[in-house]
Structure 1
């Protein structure tokens, strides 16, 4: 059996890559209970949310949108500051489908477990942008694939483990906690406490794979969902579609595009506004106006991206600090050091030494 990607007339063909339409990032329902979970693991929610650029007020409104880079960053930051390396894994383990808001109820209101997976995959691009989600027919099994595809997101391990945990719980909601996938794949390297992943999924777990995936046996997937409701399902699907249409269209793509082009230019030196604007087919004035509409400026985009990349590179201990300046577009290490002190109040060496 091949992928349903090659079967466009297949009734279950729902492979989708979220693009220009949809909400501006990820719906805040994906962070349900996050603050209390951070506290449970000894972290400071206010500090972690602040460092990740997330307004705590937004988390109390499940249909508000969070920028996807900020969402992935808050999970990575929560893991680092709480000292819980498997934060996303454990957060996903306790994340019930109904906590996902509209997306979760689309799964719960489906007729069968199989249809829940199909509807979940179809609706996911309206719940979260810049992400690949697909259900691939492999004969005896389905392969549920997930991958963030956003050029500005460097660290996404915690998000991947959380999302596969959400999908796992959708199936276990009906099949019971004893149900297990055939196998689990993650694209990131094997973490130190990887045996915990085997316990949570109760299946073989493979790392450094092409995509994050659950391999789901088809046996038993025709079991009815206990809350199946075709009328409510249509209401939930329509609500998510309406929410998507009401969201900003095309605006955040500009900022994302600028970030990706700036990231490429950093490898050759200082990013230049005119060059980025020309690459995007607009004048520098037009690009500045589009960024101002999002309360951004070209210099703030460059500065924010450099700050994010700096902490990412510093966490890679095999990289000498002296090698970081060119990666961030600085001609001299001293310029990088001055910028880093402005961002964090300490030197890059102290940041790495103290594990900040």
Structure 2
């Protein structure tokens, strides 16, 4: 049985168009056709050019992936994010710049980012002296989101660089997606070690002085901008139960099979409540995990640089043989055969 996530129009999962500031010019600069990319993503130029208008988050992520394909630049999101200055990010970027100090800027950025980009989880945490600015999309419908993740962490890094100087670098960078083919460029862009296949995207770093003043600090402006963002965004968005569940399952696959108790706890539910609600949706937990693994396998097998053992681990399989059996069950062929067949079609 194949499970389909909600096919709604995307209501309740918007991102403000400021997140796409300058993207049309950047696509052209990279040798792509911005009109074609926007059209295929289901976006129009009038909407994308108004920073306060909402864009469907799925269409926005699709635009970034299409831009990478159209320009032939597999690291499109990385390059776009590295040049993306805080002012370009609209209200959320201006809020960070107006904060009194860097610690406050990061707290505001993490706390208010889900209003700028709905159905998103952001956090600013500290553990054993290491700070972590974390980000992930909660919507289980959005499978292809690598370009968005690399863009967003580039945006976050540039907020820190505005206060600490252009040479600032994190201690480590985490990405939830698999290691790209041109992974060395990521290490050079962030000037830090990069880890892939993590449960979330994050910048990890230490700060000598979190109270270091932001250059553009202005408390009255901060209050006004915060109120404006809350008014424009309205809320942090809504997802169907199944879409939320898929998002939680995906974030745990890299650690092995996502046990239902842990996923239920993350959603604030008892196990029996989760199972009852799934039954009301016409599916089971095991079917949902199986379908998500299958859809991600289809995506990862297309990335030729990824070893099959890495794909198996990303999907929560402890052994390659288990992944092979799953591919035979899903597609009628082993992963090595599937790749040969794909090559024959190219």
Taking structure 2 as the reference length, what is the TM-score of the superposition?
A: 0.69
* 1:111 matched residue in structure 2: 100
CA RMSD in angstroms, aligned pairs only: 3.4
Q: Does 1:90 align with 2:112?
A: no
* 1:345 matched residue in structure 2: none
The answer to whether the Cα contact below 8 Å between 2:78 and 2:154 also exists between their aligned partners in 1 is: yes
The answer to whether the Cα contact below 8 Å between 1:24 and 1:65 also exists between their aligned partners in 2 is: no
**How far is 1:221 from its partner?**
2.8
Q: How many residues are aligned here?
A: 269
Q: Which runs of 5+ in 2 are unaligned?
A: 1-10, 247-276, 283-294, 312-325, 332-340
In structure 2, the CA distance between the partners of 1:31 and 1:255, relative to structure 1 (3 Å rule), is: farther
Secondary structure, counterpart of 1:137 in structure 2 = strand
Secondary structure, counterpart of 2:176 in structure 1 = coil
Alignment of 1:181-196 (within 5 A): 181-196=170-185
* 1:26 matched residue in structure 2: 15
The answer to whether the Cα contact below 8 Å between 2:121 and 2:138 also exists between their aligned partners in 1 is: yes
Q: C-alpha deviations, 1:24-76, integer Å up to 9, x for none? A: 41110000000000001111111111111111111111111111111111101
Q: C-alpha deviations, 1:311-345, integer Å up to 9, x for none? A: 958846789xxx99x979xxxxxxxxxxxxxxxxx
The answer to whether the Cα contact below 8 Å between 1:23 and 1:128 also exists between their aligned partners in 2 is: no
Query: What is the rounded CA distance, in whole Å, between the counterparts of 1:41 and 1:95 in structure 2?
Result: 15
**How far is 1:122 from its partner?**
0.8
Taking structure 1 as the reference length, what is the TM-score of the superposition?
A: 0.67
In structure 2, the CA distance between the partners of 1:313 and 1:63, relative to structure 1 (3 Å rule), is: same
* 1:225 matched residue in structure 2: 214
List structure 1 runs of 4+ shifted beyond 3 angstroms: 247-250, 253-258, 276-281, 308-319, 349-354
Secondary structure, counterpart of 2:32 in structure 1 = coil
Q: C-alpha deviations, 1:192-221, integer Å up to 9, x for none? A: 211111111111111112211100212133
Q: Find 1:141's aligned residue among 125, 130, 139.
A: 130
Q: Find 1:151's aligned residue among 116, 140, 150.
A: 140
Query: What is the rounded CA distance, in whole Å, between the counterparts of 1:249 and 1:178 in structure 2?
Result: 36
**How far is 1:187 from its partner?**
1.2
The answer to whether the Cα contact below 8 Å between 1:23 and 1:244 also exists between their aligned partners in 2 is: no
Q: Find 1:53's aligned residue among 28, 42, 53.
A: 42
Q: Does 1:213 align with 2:213?
A: no
* 2:320 matched residue in structure 1: none
* 2:187 matched residue in structure 1: 198
Secondary structure, counterpart of 2:220 in structure 1 = helix
The answer to whether the Cα contact below 8 Å between 1:23 and 1:126 also exists between their aligned partners in 2 is: no
In structure 2, the CA distance between the partners of 1:179 and 1:313, relative to structure 1 (3 Å rule), is: closer
Q: Find 1:130's aligned residue among 111, 119, 130.
A: 119
Query: What is the rounded CA distance, in whole Å, between the counterparts of 1:122 and 1:79 in structure 2?
Result: 30
* 2:323 matched residue in structure 1: none
The answer to whether the Cα contact below 8 Å between 2:242 and 2:278 also exists between their aligned partners in 1 is: no
In structure 2, the CA distance between the partners of 1:352 and 1:278, relative to structure 1 (3 Å rule), is: farther
Q: Does 1:239 align with 2:233?
A: no
Secondary structure, counterpart of 2:205 in structure 1 = strand
